[in-house]
Amino acid sequence: MGVVESSPALPDRPVCPNCHEPWLRPANLPGRYRCVNCLHRFELVSVCPTCGEHGTIVRMSSSATMICNTCKGSMLREI
Ligand SMILES: [Zn+2]
Ligand SMILES: [Zn+2]
């Protein structure tokens, strides 16, 4: 009773590093992403741009692979 149908929360949704909106979508190329909000393009890098730590790229679109394990920064670089 009274179940409110809320929009599904998607905490794992990749957030655009540029506009910080959750509109990052995988592009045609592997490791490439495009923000459908600001139309900026990004690529997933193997070395963290923030702390220089190597990350593990998993061929998945999960945002977990986009976050540096060391500094929790984004592993996405604008291209
Ligand atoms: Zn954006
Ligand atoms: Zn890092």
Locate 8 and state its tokens.
């599904």
Any domain includes 1: no
**pLDDT 10s digits, 59-70:** 544 545 678 888
Q: Ligand 1 centroid vs 35 CA: distance in angstroms?
A: 5
Which residues form the domain of 68? 14-79
Q: Ligand 2 centroid vs 63 CA: distance in angstroms?
A: 15
Q: What is the CA radius of gyration of the chain?
A: 14
Enter the DSSP assignment of 46: S
**pTM across the whole model:** 0.68
Mean pLDDT, residues 43-59 taken together: 79
Locate 67 and state its tokens.
């976050």
Which ligand minimizes its atom distance to the CA of 14? 1
Domains of the chain: total = 1
Q: Ligand 2 centroid vs 60 CA: distance in angstroms?
A: 19
Any domain includes 4: no
Q: Ligand 2 centroid vs 37 CA: distance in angstroms?
A: 25
